[in-house]
Amino acid sequence: MAFVLLVFSMENNFEVTYKGNAIKIEREDQQHFVAHVDGKALKLHVKQDNEGANQWFESDTEKATDAANEIGSSIDTYLADKEKII
């Protein structure tokens, strides 16, 4: 059963909602994602803080921007919902 969970939680392409619009997300690995927003590719990565909460950053600048946080939160929600289905 754990193998099936791993396969489904590693889905590479999906969509989330950002500012009322569906945007494409590409998952590169467990911590790196590319969000396609307004015709641009926004590279994001996630790190866990010392309390286990996810913190989202833009990969190119290492900044925790509003866009990175909002899109990252949508990614977290999507992935958590996918794992509940299994």
Measured from the Cβ of residue 28, the count of other Cβ atoms closer than 10 Å reads 13
pLDDT at 11: 64
Domain boundaries, the chain: 2-85
At residue 60 the predicted structure's pLDDT band, cuts being 50, 70 and 90, is confident
**Out of 19-23, 58-62, 72-76, least confident range:** 58-62
CA 82, 31, 27, 15 torsion-angle sign = positive
